[in-house]
Amino acid sequence: MLEESEMAVLSLSDYPSAPEIIEDGKTFFENALKKARIVSEYTGEMVIADDSGLEVDFLEGRPGIHSARYSGPDADDEKNIQRLLQELKGVPIERRGAAFKCVLVLYNPDGIYESFEGTLRGEIAVSPAGSEGFGYDPVFIVPEYGRTVAELSPDIKNKISHRAKAFKKLKKSLRQHVK
């Protein structure tokens, strides 16, 4: 068993020559699993990887796995939001349901893995509001708060987000294995 002083949490930036990973899966799970497997094989370590994005009901799940590059090769947050709002132009709020989704994969060097999903349901606003956060946060309304994610404090966002929910499930699983 490892002593606490022997354990460390590292990021991919601690491995500057790690291979580049092409996210070509058809689902968040496939992309997260691929990233975790490749990095684990490269480092020989246990790895946590994720993939996440926005799924809009009216758009049949788009932008989905293409969330970060939704507006094309030169995509940025503003361009992605503008494309999304253009595609939803004239769509009433009751048909603008959406979800932020996150899939985490905990991958062991022996090839055994677990996955954990977190979802935050909401609606897409007609126009951006707020300055906190990134990505689609300025147009994603959280109904319980009546505000966009970009209008919520980082403290609240870190409690209710799709990533927070996925990490909560991961933490629960780790506690069960470590007893």
Rounded Cα distance between 63 and 55, Å, is 6
The residues, ordered by sequence, that sit 6+ positions from 7 with a Cβ below 8 Å of its Cβ are: none
Rounded Cα distance between 73 and 53, Å, is 17
pLDDT at 2: 46
| Contact between 125 and 148 (Cβ < 8 Å) | yes
Neighbours of 121 (CB within 10 A): 15
Domains and CATH numbers, the chain: 25-178 (3.90.950.10)
- pTM value is 0.89
Give catalytic status of residue 57 as yes or no.
no
CA distances from 146 to 55, 125, 150, 151 (A): 19, 11, 12, 10
pLDDT at 174: 86
Beta bridge partners of 114: 106
Average pLDDT of the segment spanning 169-175:
91
Can you read off the two tokens belonging to residue 29? 């799970």
What's the pLDDT band for 30 if we cut at 50, 70, 90?
A: very high
The residues, ordered by sequence, that sit 6+ positions from 164 with a Cβ below 8 Å of its Cβ are: 118, 158
Can you read off the two tokens belonging to residue 95? 């048909």
Taking 60 as the threshold, does the pLDDT of residue 5 lie above it?
no
Reported as a single tens digit per residue, the pLDDT across 90-106 is 999 999 999 999 999 99
Reported as a single tens digit per residue, the pLDDT across 115-154 is 999 999 999 999 999 998 899 999 999 999 999 999 999 9
Could you give the 3-state DSSP secondary structure of residue 179? coil
pLDDT at 9: 83
| Contact between 150 and 168 (Cβ < 8 Å) | no
- Which of these is catalytic: 51, 74, 110, 137? 51
Reported as a single tens digit per residue, the pLDDT across 43-92 is 999 999 999 999 999 999 999 999 999 999 999 999 999 999 999 999 99
